[in-house]
Chain A
Amino acid sequence: LAKTTQPISMDSYEGQEVNITCSHNNIATNDYITWYQQFPSQGPRFIIQGYKTKVTNEVASLFIPADRKSSTLSLPRVSLSDTAVYYCLVGDVLHGSSNTGKLIFGQGTTLQVKP
């Protein structure tokens, strides 16, 4: 199963772009990369998911290089409300392998956005 490594914490200022990188050297062919956001006392919330290249939605972009051994979550122009813990999840979320269902989260990155 793919193990993920993220920075423990990051600081930023309002209006800046924030990039959080996740390393997943042993990612498998059937694995997708998904990012979640968690506020205190709440369950994680889905942000974005991708398999390769670049994915963009209304809140973030996800960059995945060709070798897929890492990924970068990009948050454009962060605000104070983006202060949260961000988790990178790598796993067979579409259930195409024998490891289907065993979705292991990494330690997460605590992002602190300052005024």
Chain B
Amino acid sequence: NAGVTQTPKFRVLKTGQSMTLLCAQDMNHEYMYWYRQDPGMGLRLIHYSVGEGTTAKGEVPDGYNVSRLKKQNFLLGLESAAPSQTSVYFCASSYRNTGELFFGEGSRLTVL
């Protein structure tokens, strides 16, 4: 099992460009999350999903959109990237009846 896989792992964007981060999990987890982590900071929840076809806002949802069309995938989109979105993005997933979050390795995004 690969666990939680994030692609791409690194990306450099120019201000105003768009991109999508893909999170894929092969553990049949119902719940999926997108967090961002800025240097020296903790994790901030962007959006999350409690099941296929559902999404909800977290702490810092502005400037991001998400979709969960398939249970195993959770996509994070930036429609018009801004330098303030330079960060490391982590995806996580969890099974309904346990509290353990499984994290991906992170995607480092730089917006110039």
Binding site for B on A (CB under 8 A): 32, 34, 36, 41-46, 49, 87, 89, 93-95, 100-108
Find the A residue at minimum CB distance from B6. A43
* Residues A105 and B35 in contact in the complex (CB < 8 Å), given A36-B101, A41-B106, A94-B99: yes
Given A36-B101, A43-B103, A104 contacting B92 (CB threshold 8 A): no
The reply on B62 being an interface residue by CB < 8 A is: no
Complex alpha-carbon distance, A109 and B102, angstroms: 20
Show the binding face of B for A, using Cβ within 8 Å: 4, 31, 33, 35, 41-45, 48-50, 56, 58-59, 90, 92, 94, 96-106
Chain B minimum-CB-distance residue to A95 = B96
The 8 Å CB contact of B45, one of A44, A87, A103, is: A103
Closest to A100 in B: B50
- Is the beta-carbon distance between A101 and B56 smaller than 8 angstroms? yes
Docked CA distance A45–B3 (Å): 13
Q: Which of B41, B48, B98, B106 contacts A42 (CB 8 A)?
A: B106
Q: How far is the CB of A78 from chain B (nearest CB, A)?
A: 21
Tell me, rounded to whole Å, the shortest Cβ–Cβ distance linking B84 to chain A: 19
- With a cutoff of 8 Å between Cβ atoms, the chain B residues found around residue A101 in the complex are 31, 33, 48-50, 56
Distance to closest chain A CB from B105 (angstroms) = 6
- Whether the Cβ atoms of A102 and B101 lie closer than 8 Å is no
Residues of A within 8 A of B98 (CB): 93-94
